[in-house]
Amino acid sequence: MAFILAALAAALVVTLFVMRRSFTDARLRQAAPSGTRLTAWTREANLKGWGRAGGLGVAAGLLFSLALRLFDDAAIAGTSLWLLLAAMPVFVAGLADDFTQRVRPSLRLLAAFVSALIAGFLLDTWVNRIDVPALDNAFAIPAVAIVFSCVLVAGLVNAFNVIDGFNGLAGGVASLILVGIAYVAFKVGDLVVLTASLTAIGAITGFMLFNFPRGLIYLGDGGAYLLGFWIGELLIMLVARNPQVSAWFPALLCSYPVCEMLFSIYRRAFVRRSHPGAPDIAHLHHLIYKRLVRWLVGPGGMQVRHEHGNALTSPYLWILTSIGVGPAVVFWQKTLVLQIGCVVFAAAYVYAYVRIVRFRSPRWWSMRRNPPRPTSKY
């Protein structure tokens, strides 16, 4: 518990510093009124700099807490510190794009592959099975295991970047997934994965205090990449080091960000006939904001309405994430059940997306404010 609090405190202090720098830059550039932040439902295209550097707080929380743990258990902390070192290429690439918006997507994807390679070689941990008998023998070939591991980690890194669109969304989803990882790690006695998961939850909490609900600071590409990489590598370690954990546990656990990324690629490439990596505002969280969330606010301007609507969107996706996380942690040893769960979740995701985009979502999905009661003039 002490190390979780240390991660929280370090993340909170560094995030506060970053946030103050963001306020200073905003005042100097007259980009926003003094003491305010941009809280629109989708971020301004030109928003960059300290306002998108919230991932620095998460990284600092991890580093500080794991460094302290060296004095308590050097072996456990050392493994996690190696993992944090491996994350630096993709984290720095994302952070550089947060400040410049000039780092090409191909370079950021390459950085994700480099980080995955470094982690695999430093920790000697690769995907060694997928619990499909006809395919598992292929993972005895080192090249197959290495390539598959890098693709999985890079995919999850980009999946978290895709869902990072609203206050508290990526941080909340990551925390729920990390709770699931920590639970299974505790059940199998994997202290390295357990410690790394709980430390990350503490660091995310320190950042979330400023990110949700008001959006005083954003996670940014660097922070989203770091969380995606951290979760991806912990899942590979958990499955590779513990044969009793099904290889389909990570798939159902991360079903929401993975479905969001895969469906976005399909929608862009085959429906819109555009580049699969082209950004858009047609993700599920955007549709929920525009078509389900109703501004549960009293008198106030557009800025206030945006702020409240932004904050009300993320809980929808936290609930959706829990639908995958819950069964995953219950049936973490049952491969067939996990496989069925993945199929059911993907079908439910597509069903929900289609219903919302066609304006046919059930009434109970919407958050509506009760109409005001008429008042007498007398």
Average pLDDT over residues 172-198: 97
Token digits for 332? 């973490």
pLDDT attached to residue 137: 93
Residue 341 has pLDDT above 90, yes or no: yes
Token digits for 21? 């720098």
Average pLDDT over residues 171-177: 97
Distance CA 94, CA 100 (A): 10
Residue 105 has pLDDT above 60, yes or no: yes
Task: Give 195 or 165, the one with higher predicted confidence.
Answer: 195
Residue 23 has pLDDT above 90, yes or no: no
The CA R_g of the chain, rounded to the nearest whole Å, is 21
pLDDT attached to residue 270: 86
pLDDT attached to residue 27: 63
Q: Packing angle between helix 220-241 and helix 169-188, nearest 10 degrees? A: 20
Question: Whole-structure pTM over 0.85, yes or no?
Answer: yes
Residue 301 has pLDDT above 90, yes or no: no
pLDDT attached to residue 214: 82
Task: Give 22 or 102, the one with higher predicted confidence.
Answer: 102
Judged by average pLDDT, the poorest of 68-72, 144-148, 232-236 is 68-72
pLDDT attached to residue 22: 80
pLDDT attached to residue 165: 83
Question: Is residue 306 within 8 Å of residue 41, measured between CB atoms?
Answer: yes
Average pLDDT over residues 284-305: 67
Distance CA 109, CA 159 (A): 12
pLDDT attached to residue 368: 59
Query: Can you give the residue ranges of every domain in the chain?
Result: 2-36+50-364
User: Among residues 134, 148, 137, 115, which one has the least CA distance to residue 250?
Assistant: 148
Cis peptide before 213 (omega within 30 of 0): yes
- At 10 the three-state DSSP class reads helix
* pLDDT band, residue 282 (cuts 50/70/90): confident
pLDDT attached to residue 364: 79
pLDDT attached to residue 274: 83
Q: How many CB atoms lie within 10 A of CB 193?
A: 28
* pLDDT band, residue 367 (cuts 50/70/90): low
User: Among residues 298, 282, 300, 301, which one has the least CA distance to residue 290?
Assistant: 282
Place of tokens 């009124």: 33
Average pLDDT over residues 200-209: 96
pLDDT attached to residue 189: 96
Residue 144 carries which DSSP code? H
Q: How many CB atoms lie within 10 A of CB 191?
A: 13
**Structure confidence by residue, pLDDT tens digits, 38-60:** 444 344 444 678 888 999 999 99
Share of the chain above pLDDT 70, in %: 87
Q: How many CB atoms lie within 10 A of CB 17?
A: 15
pLDDT attached to residue 355: 93
The full DSSP string for 81-111 is: HHHHHHTHHHHHHHHHHHHHS-S-HHHHHHH
User: Among residues 174, 177, 195, which one has the least CA distance to residue 186?
Assistant: 195
Average pLDDT over residues 270-294: 83
Judged by average pLDDT, the poorest of 27-31, 257-261, 292-296, 317-321 is 27-31
- The 3 state secondary structure assigned to 268-333 is HHHHCCCCCCCCCCCCHHHHHHHHCECCCCCCCCHHHHHHHHHHHHHHHHHHHHHHHHHHHHHCCC
Quote the mean pLDDT of the chain.
87
Distance, first Cα to last Cα, the chain: 60
Judged by average pLDDT, the poorest of 13-27, 139-153, 346-360 is 13-27
pLDDT attached to residue 69: 92
Average pLDDT over residues 283-310: 67
pLDDT attached to residue 29: 60
Residue 361 has pLDDT above 80, yes or no: yes
pLDDT attached to residue 13: 94
Residue 334 has pLDDT above 60, yes or no: yes
**Structure confidence by residue, pLDDT tens digits, 219-249:** 999 999 999 999 999 999 999 999 999 999 9
* pLDDT band, residue 73 (cuts 50/70/90): confident
